[in-house]
Structure formats: C-alpha cells, structure tokens
Amino acid sequence: MLYENSIQKANLIMNLRSMGISSNNVLSAIEKVPRELFLPSNFHSYAYENNPLPIGFEQTISQPYIVALMTEALELKGNEIILEIGTGSGYQTSVLSLLSRRVYSIERIKPLLVNALSCFKKLKLTNIVCDHGDGFLGWPKLAPFDHLIVTCAIKNVDDRLLNQVRFNGICIAPVAVSPKEQRLKKITIKDKRDNDIWEDLGRVSFVPLISEYD
C-alpha cells in the first residue's frame, strides 16, 4: 500500500496557500494527485514535504510549490491542450491532466517514461499522450498547442518552441540566465516574437535540458 499521510498533505496545501498559491483548482489538483506514487519507495515518507526529491537517472521530482506555481501561471480554464517538455516522474503531467483537456508530454529517458506511464494507468488518467524523444524541438506535427510548459532548464526558449503555441497562449519555462542562476519565465505569445510578453516568476533550480540540438 502506498504511503499517504492526510495530515501531511493538508499541511502542504496550507503551506502552498501561505506561499501565494491562490487557485483553488490548482490546490485541489495537488491534493488529488498522490505524490508518493511517483517516488521510489524509500522516499514515500517524504512525499508531502515541500522539497524536490530524486527519482533516479540524475533527475528529480519538482518541489510541490514549483509545480503549483507553474500550473497556476498557465491560467487553465479546463479545455486546453498542453505540450509538456520533460515528463520526468509524471507528477506535473498528472496535475495538468486534471485541469486541462489533454496533455502531450515528451521524455528522453525511457525508464522514467515507462514509470510515468505506469502511474498514469494506476490513476486512470486517459487524457495524457506521451512520446519518447528529444523535447528541444517540441512536437511540431501536433502544433499548435494552447500552452507549453518546460520542466527542465534551458539556455534559450527557442522560437521553434514558441511558434508551436497559439496566439495568447502561455509558455512557462525555467531559463538559465547564467551558469549559476535560473529564472522561471512566463511568456504570453503574441503575433510576432518581438511582441511576446515576458514575465519573471522568480528564481528556480531545475536539472538542465539535454538535447543533441542545444
């Protein structure tokens, strides 16, 4: 049986509220998705602490606050089609799936993808479509998407990615602004790349995107 402590989960939700997460829909999705399912068994007891945790292959499951922040920044209404670059554990994907029509997600590490697909099946999440591959170029044959979320740090948000997002859609991505600093960026897509609206959501720490195209 999976480890789950309802008191710890309630405390996490209260903590997220105190940190500025105000969307009841996002908090409800965080509450519904069992984070321990996406963790190695030796980390189940830490599932509802507000920290990133290792999931193997030098990758991590994101801090719940960052998952909530990125999800809230997408301003989801419930009918969106989202592209996620970096399935990872599948935790962020699952939260998004409860708040949108469909999530397309790309992961380059096959064992992680296999584990994530197993989690989606256990949770009976049927609106997630995954691909094993390099996410740097997105998923152009399925574009345009309503929103884009990148769950690994990139040096530049490539126009080839932004061009796959609809007008007034949102891209959320951690950008490595220097070797020692990453900033979470919210980009609202306009008719031309020069007209896109960039907002800074704060300092973050993500594992880097690894791509043969970078």
Indicate if the pLDDT at residue 164 is higher than 70. Answer: yes
Higher pLDDT, 6 or 9: 9
The pLDDT value given to residue 214: 57
Give the burial class of 3: count Cβ atoms within 10 A of its Cβ; 0-12 exposed, 13-18 middle, 19 or more buried. middle
Give the orientation angle of helix 24-32 with respect to helix 64-73, to 10 degrees: 140
The pLDDT value given to residue 79: 97
Here the tokens at position 180 are: 């020692």
Q: How confident is the model at residue 3 (pLDDT cuts 50, 70, 90)?
A: very low
Higher pLDDT, 4 or 185: 185
Higher pLDDT, 56 or 214: 56
From the CB of residue 79, how many other CB atoms can be counted at a distance below 10 Å?
A: 9
Per-residue buried b or exposed e for 116-152, using 16+ beta carbons within 10 Å of the residue's own CB: bbebbeebebeebebeeebbbebbeeebebbbbbbbb
| Contact (CB, 8 A) for 21 and 65 | yes
The pLDDT value given to residue 158: 85
d(CA 203, CA 183): 5
From the list 32, 52, 45, 43, the residue with the least C-alpha distance to 123 is 32
SS3 state at 94: helix
From the CB of residue 46, how many other CB atoms can be counted at a distance below 10 Å?
A: 14
The pLDDT value given to residue 136: 81
Mean per-residue pLDDT for 138-160?
94
Q: How confident is the model at residue 149 (pLDDT cuts 50, 70, 90)?
A: very high
Q: How confident is the model at residue 58 (pLDDT cuts 50, 70, 90)?
A: confident
The pLDDT value given to residue 1: 39
From the list 114, 144, 118, 145, the residue with the least C-alpha distance to 131 is 114
Which residues on neighbouring strands pair with residue 176, listed in sequence order?
182
Indicate if the pLDDT at residue 169 is higher than 70. Answer: yes
pTM, two decimals, is 0.93
Q: Which of the residues 22, 45, 62, 178 is marked catalytic?
A: 62
d(CA 11, CA 175): 30
Mean per-residue pLDDT for 53-78?
96
* Domain 6-204 -> CATH class: alpha beta
Share of the chain above pLDDT 90, in %: 86
**Which residue matches tokens 């999530």?**
103
Give the burial class of 76: count Cβ atoms within 10 A of its Cβ; 0-12 exposed, 13-18 middle, 19 or more buried. buried
The pLDDT value given to residue 213: 60
- Backbone torsions φ then ψ of 72, nearest 5 degrees: -60, -35
The pLDDT value given to residue 135: 84
For the chain, domain boundaries: 6-204
Distances (CA, A) of 153 to 63, 76, 144: 15, 22, 22
| Contact (CB, 8 A) for 119 and 38 | yes
Q: What are the tens digits of pLDDT across the range 92-114?
A: 999 999 999 999 999 999 999 99
The reply to whether 97 belongs to the active site is no
